Amino acid sequence: MFEAAEVGRKVSKAEYKAQVPHLRSELLDAQQALRAARFPVIVLFAGVDTAGKGETVNLLNEWMDPRWIVTRGYTDPSSEELERPRLWRYWRDLPPHGRIALFLSAWYSFPVRARVAGRLSSAEFDARLAQIAAFERALTDDGVVILKFWMHLSKAAQKKRLKAFEQDPHQRWRVTKDQWKHWRMFDKFVATADRAIRRTSTDQAPWHIVEGADERYRALTIGTVLRDAIRGGLARPRLQTGSSRRRASPAIRSGDAARTIDRIDREFNVLDNLDLDQRLSDSRFDVKVAEHQSRLNLLQRRARQKGVSTIVVIEGWDAAGKGGAIRRVTGALDARDYQVIPIAAPTDEERAHHYLWRFWRHLSRAGRITIFDRSWYGRVLVERVESLAAESEWMRAYGEITQFEEQLVAHGILLVKFWLHISKDEQLRRFRERGRTTYKQWKITDEDWRNRARWADYTVAVNDMVARTSTRIAPWTLVEANDKNFARVKVLRTVADRLAARLG
């Protein structure tokens, strides 16, 4: 694969000087146009040592307006980063719409190095590459433009450059013992990189292999590819967003057979199997709450000592009692050990990123509990039903969500998901009660009544959500919530049971 990047391509000084002003002007024009676009551009730089990665990043910041460029160089993860899933720090640094990100030694660097050093087996390496490919696919499906540059030198050219740096007192600082170590492992390093590139170069996130021996050639090559990629992104059909999307409910399909399936989906679903008549008396409730809160408190202390994090997702109908269930869980915990994240409509900053970005940001350090009052499932619930997401967006979200949750669990995080279910009649009773009670009136809004009018559509969406995202490692717990006492105890008991099982 790399032979074509070892032929000695060069650009003369005169030709370089002639082309650079025009290319810089085009890059600046493209960057300014990008600022008004609804997608960002991510540029990854990887490759052999001394092939010009850092110099190229510096040059692009010089050629373009650095105020609209996010530049990140990654080293070994910190203790804070190690306490979260591997991709957390990259999700955290994703650029918003309209920006360009230049990433050095990002998500490919560490798997390649670990494989070369023998810390990853071939199967583990391929699994990491598959995870990376899924990550990039989620971004490109959301409109992100991804460019990946492998900066290459032949083994002889790399040795020559290392020696030249060592002999120059002003460049000696560039050469480290690790670079010579990497040079001695050149063949293995390049073979591993070859495997990574072949498995992750896609039409939406392609690799570009650039010969790095001549700085003028690599600068013009990368600048040209970047300019063309921005232009290509700007020329794409505009992604449907917000009110520009078709307003008809995506749950309704055309054709007699499709209408029959929709009718059956609405009449028979997983929620129908729940016994909503289950009750718990006030006296039994007080006993059970005290019992399970005491147990959960002791379990969380052990989890904190062992560095085991817990994420609790609370979803459910409006007025289903999510807040009351959360308060019974937090009542068992030290306030320093948990955080409740209430999820509402995304802010402008959040809308300028992939929809999962805001949830990655809230992942806690090891040993804490994070409770999401509503969650990433909004993409397949309210955004689906209200046509705030195109059908292609919420359909692919099932896979993106399960991949996200797999990464959480693979990192050792306990994930507990609840859907609190009440009957339509019970919801109406609670809505009216809130309207009559002064200190509860803030809880009932016009949006709640509007959502209630779409009960049938939401029922289909919930059924699909449970069917597609209840996995062995992250199952849904459906809670019969017509009786608040019963629901609160079930949530509290389930969290304690799952944490006990996780701790062993």
The Cα 361–Cα 411 span in angstroms is 16
pTM, two decimals, is 0.87
In angstroms, what CA-CA distances link 322 with 87, 350, 374, 475?
Answer: 30, 24, 9, 18
Give me the pLDDT at residue 448, please.
86
Query: What tokens appear for 381 in the block?
Result: 């619930």
Q: Which pLDDT value is given to residue 265? A: 54
Cross-strand pairs, 43: 102, 147
50-100 pLDDT, tens digit per residue, is 888 999 999 999 999 999 999 999 999 999 999 999 999 999 999 999 999
Specify the pLDDT at position 252: 41
Q: Which amino acid is at 91?
A: W
Q: Which residue has the tokens 């046509």?
A: 387
Residue carrying the six token digits 């660097």: 109
Lowest mean pLDDT among 78-87, 176-185, 294-303, 355-364: 176-185
pLDDT interval class at 154 (50, 70, 90) = confident
Asked which of 246-250, 255-259, 447-451 is least confident by mean pLDDT, the reply is: 246-250
User: Residue 212 has what pLDDT?
Assistant: 84
Tell me the pLDDT band of 268, cut-offs 50, 70 and 90. Answer: low
Which of 234, 315, 252 has the alpha carbon at shortest distance from 479?
315
d(C-alpha 193, C-alpha 188), whole Å: 9
What pLDDT is attached to residue 39? Answer: 97
pLDDT at site 374: 97
pLDDT at 248 over 50: no
* 87-96, 163-172, 417-426, 487-496: segment of lowest average pLDDT: 163-172
Task: Give me 176's structure tokens.
Answer: 């480290």
Q: Which helix (H) or strand (E) holds 255?
A: none
The residue-averaged pLDDT of 266-295 equals 91
pLDDT tens-digit readout, 369-412: 999 999 999 999 999 999 999 999 999 999 999 999 999 999 99
H-type alpha helices, 4-68: 13-34, 53-63
Average pLDDT of the chain is 91
Phi then psi for residue 387, to 5 deg, are 55, 35
Give the model's confidence band at 174: pLDDT under 50 very low, under 70 low, under 90 confident, else very high. Answer: confident
Q: Are 137 and 206 in contact (CB under 8 A)?
A: no
- Give Cα 256 to chain centroid, integer Å: 38
CA-closest candidate to residue 290, choices 331, 338, 321: 331
**pLDDT value at 260 more than 80:** no
In this predicted structure, what is the pLDDT of residue 247? 40
**Six-digit token string for 439:** 């200190």
Residue 4 reports pLDDT greater than 80: no
CB 480, CB 421: distance < 8 Å: yes
**H/E segment holding residue 419:** strand 414-421
Residues 225-254, mean pLDDT to the nearest whole number? 67
Strand arrangement of the beta sheet that strand 369-373 belongs to: 338-342, 369-373, 310-316, 414-421, 476-480
- In the predicted model, is pLDDT for residue 254 greater than 50? no
Q: Residue 236 to residues 299, 391, 460: CA-CA distances in angstroms?
A: 52, 19, 33
**How do residues 183-230 score in pLDDT, each as one tens digit?**
788 889 889 999 999 999 999 999 999 988 889 999 999 999 999 999
Kindly state the percentage of the chain with pLDDT values over 90.
Answer: 76
Number of other residues whose CB lies within 10 A of the CB of residue 400: 21
Express each pLDDT in 8-51 by its tens digit.
788 999 999 999 999 999 999 999 999 999 999 999 999 888 88
Strands 310-316 and 476-480: unpaired
Q: Report pLDDT for 338.
A: 97
What φ, ψ does residue 356 adopt, rounded to 5°?
-80, -10
Give the mean pLDDT of 342-360: 96
Return the pLDDT at 253.
Answer: 46
Radius of gyration of the chain (CA): 27
Phi-psi region of 41 (alpha: psi -120 to 50; beta: other; left: phi over 0): beta
pLDDT at position 173 is 79
